[in-house]
Amino acid sequence: MNVTFEDIQAAAKLIEDRVLRTPCFPAARLSELTGANVVLKLENLQHTGAFKVRGALVKLLSLSDDERKAGVIAASAGNHAQGVGYFARQLNIPATIVMPTNTPFTKIARTEALGAHVVLYGEGFIQARDHAYTLAEREGFTFVHPYDDEKVIAGQGTIGLEMVQDQPQLDSIIVSIGGGGLISGMAIAAKHLNPDIEIYGVQADTFPSMYDAYHHCATDALYGQTIADGIAVKTPSPNTQAIIESMVDDVFLVSEIEIEKSLQAYLELKRIVVEGAGAAPLAALLRNREHFKGRTVGLVVSGGNIDSRMLSTILMRGLAREGRLVSLRIKIMDMPGVLSKVSQIIGNTGANIIEVHHQRLFSDVPLKQTEMDVAVETLDQKHVKNLVKVLCEAGFETRVLSGTSE
């Protein structure tokens, strides 16, 4: 595979009037948090909410008239599907997307709304991809690979081109890695414009395929569920692997909790909605803050397509970790007026009761005692500790059910 800087320049000209030149700007609050001078590239604001439209468009524009007439096919359960569907409709190219059978209905509906024909097949991406290959051969479709394609890599590389043009002071860029198409294209573009710039990749430690290939190791990973499903790729591409080994300075791993906390940081500090894959670069910066201290670091916010239920859960878990939302189990005497007294004590400390569950039957406390679980809004962990102390001193044995430690 041979992708050049000239290919990326040509791709940029092809797509400049069709995709957004997304903002690339300093983020002061994140700079304070990390100790680096943070610059964000907001691809979550792109058409369909992710960078994938760039590579998809370059690939589709490269097709001959006969190939366009025959149609294209892709395998994806997320952003690539929408990227292909979005521009296939604009270019009047029939598009078929093969998705795993367990794909959430919302993603299926969103892809169909873009005009693509959705085929459900297999239990995961690999089976869906192999079925797409079969359909492509049988029906004469052109397969649009999500990352292992020169045109796609050139299209994704336009992000690196824009970042260095808009923020030439960048010392480093951190990019999420799934199959490696994004970081491959970006590294080619960025290092051509600035040979001294450092490019770093990041993967979730539950899917360390490119990390293992880059470091020539075998990480003990389960390859199970991950919040960063956009970069959950089990097998690295030899083509992107070769580019990464020659042009990327290092590849990091981050944990699920680190990604979750970074997603929460984007929401709370910048009011930016980002998916797990898009939050991973910030997680890598936070884990390696000493390495990047004082440097100007660009983070690619690669997408913002996160399920609303997952987003809600992450926010609530974050509040619990910080001690701003806590569940207390309190032992009380089972007699009139006690519940009112406990409520008054909690209120006097400045905490706010959200929910009370009073348990009489299913408990192992003495008959004339009972337990109640109280969900309470608090200021921070210090406030929680004080609340527990005050309740205990008043004779109400209290323990914290939800975690409040970092």
pLDDT tens figures, 205-264? 999 999 999 999 999 887 878 899 889 888 889 999 999 999 999 999 999 999 999 999
E strands of 86-184, at which residues? Answer: 95-99, 117-120, 142-143, 172-176
CB 117 within 8 A of CB 97: yes
Fold agreement (5-51+155-316, 323-400): no
CB 359 within 8 A of CB 317: no
Burial pattern 236-261, b for ≥16 Cβ within 10 A else e, equals: bbebbbebbeeebebbbbbebebbbb
Token pair 């909690």: residue: 346
Class at the top of the CATH hierarchy for domain 52-143: alpha beta
Find, among 35, 82, 2, 105, the residue nearest to 285 by Cα: 35
CB 77 within 8 A of CB 98: no
Q: Kindly tell me if the per-residue pLDDT of 145 is higher than 60.
A: yes
Q: How far apart are CA 321 and CA 91, in angstroms?
A: 48
CATH number of 5-51+155-316: 3.40.50.1100
Residue 56 corresponds to which tokens in the numbers above?
């998809």
| pLDDT tens, position by position, 6-61 | 999 999 999 999 999 999 999 999 999 999 999 999 999 999 999 999 999 999 99
Q: What is the chain's alpha carbon radius of gyration, rounded to the nearest angstrom?
A: 25
In this prediction the pTM is 0.87
The single-letter code of the amino acid at 108 is I
| Mean pLDDT score of the chain | 92
Provide CB contacts within 8 A for 344, sequence distance 6+. Answer: none
Token pair 């792109």: residue: 46
Q: How many CB atoms lie within 10 A of CB 266?
A: 23
3-class SS of residue 29: helix
pLDDT of residue 403: 54
204 backbone dihedrals φ, ψ, rounded to 5°: -70, 140
Q: How far apart are CA 173 and CA 183, in angstroms?
A: 10
357 forms beta bridges with: 373
Burial pattern 350-370, b for ≥16 Cβ within 10 A else e, equals: ebeeeeeeeeeeeeeeeeeeb
Q: Kindly tell me if the per-residue pLDDT of 360 is higher than 70.
A: no
Average pLDDT for residues 305-319, to the nearest whole number? 86
Domain ranges of the chain: 5-51+155-316, 52-143, 323-400
Instruction: Count, in order, helices (H) and strands (E) of the chain.
Output: 17, 14
274 backbone dihedrals φ, ψ, rounded to 5°: -140, 145
Classify the C-alpha dihedral 143-149-153-154 as positive or negative. Answer: negative
Q: How far apart are CA 142 and CA 219, in angstroms?
A: 35
Of all residues in the chain, what percent carry a pLDDT higher than 90? 76
Token pair 């995709």: residue: 19
DSSP state of 50: B
Residue 352 corresponds to which tokens in the numbers above?
């706010």
pLDDT of residue 365: 63
CATH of 323-400, one of 3.30.1950.10, 3.30.70.260, 3.40.50.300, 3.40.605.10: 3.30.70.260
Classify the C-alpha dihedral 61-62-68-74 as positive or negative. Answer: negative
At 242, which helix (H) or strand (E)?
A: helix 238-247
Find, among 155, 135, 154, 149, the residue nearest to 70 by Cα: 135
> Where does the pLDDT of residue 404 fall: very low under 50, low under 70, confident under 90, or very high at 90 and above?
very low
| pLDDT tens, position by position, 274-300 | 999 999 999 999 999 999 999 999 999
Q: How far apart are CA 155 and CA 157, in angstroms?
A: 5
pLDDT of residue 254: 97
| pLDDT tens, position by position, 380-389 | 889 999 999 9
What's the full length of the chain, in residues? Answer: 406
**Comparing 108 with 204, which gets the higher pLDDT?**
204
